[in-house]
Amino acid sequence: MLSNQFILSFFLLLCLPIVFFLVSPHVFPHPPREYLIPIVDEIDDQILFRRASTGSVNITRPRPSNGSIFQNAFITSSKRTSRSSPTLISATRRLFATALLDDPANAYFTVLSQYCIPLHSFRFVYQSLFESPSFDRSNPDPTSKGIRVWYQSFIELISDEPRLWKRYIARGRYAMLPQVPFEKFRVGSHFFVMTRKHALLTVKDRIMWRKFKLPCYRSDECYLEEHYFPTLMNMKDPGGCTGYTLTRVNWTGTVKGHPYTYRPHEVSSDLMHQLRLSNHTSSYFFARKFMPTCLKPLLAIADLVIFRD
C-alpha cells in the first residue's frame, strides 16, 4: 500500500521508537454479540506479555541523541482485528510488548494507523519530546535545560463526553464493577504517545483487561480501545498523563463516527501549517485521516513543508 510506504519511508528516517499498527480492513458492521478473543490467542498474548513484563528493563532517560539511537516500526500482521471487539486493544498491547522487549532504550511508544501522516521532521519530534524545556507545560521545572528526567504520556482522559454512560454500560449495568467505577471511566483517542513506564503498565494489566474483554450488548456503543487505555491511565497514573493527544483529527462534519478524511486535492502547505496548530504548548506531530491517494501530493511537499520546522 502506497500510504504505508510513505509512513515507512518517513519513519525509517526517524530514530525514535515508534509503534504503529495497521487496522485490518475487516470491519464488521454488526459484530456478533458473543464475539470473544479465541482462547489460543489469549494464551499466546499472556505468554508474550509476561515475557515483556519480566524481561524488559526500566530506563529513566533515553540515550543521548548522537545518532546511535534506533527507531523501530512494528506492524501487527498475525491476528485479525475488528471494531467493536477487544482485538484492537490486544493488538496494541502486543506491539508494546514486542517493542519493550526489542530494546530497553525504547522510551516512547506512538500508536498510529495507515491513515495518519507526520506533520514534522523526526528531529522536531525527538527534540520536543526529550529536550525542549517548554514543550510540555506540565514539566515540573520549565526553566531546566537539556534532557527532561520526567516524562508524560500524551493521551486524552476525557470525562465530560455525553455518551460516556452508554459506553460504560455497553456490557451491562454492573459489568465493570467493582474494579472500574463509572467515576473512573474515561474516553480518548487511541492514537496516543505513551511512555515506556505506561506501556509496561499496560502490558502487565490483567484486572482491567478482564473487564474490557467482555462482549458488548450494543455494538454501536462499543469502542473499547477508546476507553481501555484512557481508563487504565486514569486509574493508575493520571498525573503522568497530559490529557491531550499529539495527533490532530478533524471532527467537523463527522459521518457515522468517522472523522473527516482528506483527499489529494486538499493537500497543501497551508493545510499542513493549519493542522499543526494546537492549543497546547507545542504543535501536533501527526494528523489523520488521509486517503492513500494523498501520498503523491504529500511527498511533493515533504521536504519543503512537512519536514521543514
Ligand X SMILES: *[C@@H]1O[C@H](CO)[C@@H](O)[C@H](O)[C@H]1NC(C)=O
Contact flag: residue 255 with ligand X (CB under 6 A): no
Contact flag: residue 53 with ligand X (CB under 6 A): no
Q: Which is nearer to ligand X, 91 or 199 (CB)?
A: 199
Chain positions 155 to 174 lying near ligand X, rule: CB under 6 A, are: none
d(CA 140, CA 129): 14
Smallest distance from ligand X to CB 110, Å? 19
Q: Which is nearer to ligand X, 63 or 236 (CB)?
A: 63
Residue choice 32, 38, 64, 181 for contact with ligand X (CB under 6 A): 64
Q: Which is nearer to ligand X, 143 or 252 (CB)?
A: 252
Q: Which is nearer to ligand X, 26 or 137 (CB)?
A: 137
Residue choice 140, 160, 257, 277 for contact with ligand X (CB under 6 A): 277
Smallest distance from ligand X to CB 57, Å? 5
Q: Which is nearer to ligand X, 63 or 123 (CB)?
A: 63
Contact flag: residue 281 with ligand X (CB under 6 A): no
d(CA 231, CA 210): 14
Part of the chain binding ligand X (CB under 6 A), chosen from 29-37, 64-72, 143-151, 291-299: 64-72
Contact flag: residue 181 with ligand X (CB under 6 A): no
Contact flag: residue 57 with ligand X (CB under 6 A): yes
Part of the chain binding ligand X (CB under 6 A), chosen from 8-16, 111-119, 163-171, 247-255: 247-255
d(CA 270, CA 214): 45
Contact flag: residue 260 with ligand X (CB under 6 A): yes
Part of the chain binding ligand X (CB under 6 A), chosen from 25-33, 57-65, 85-93, 216-224: 57-65
Residues in contact with ligand X by the rule CB under 6 A? 57-58, 63-64, 66-68, 250, 252-253, 260, 271, 274, 277-279
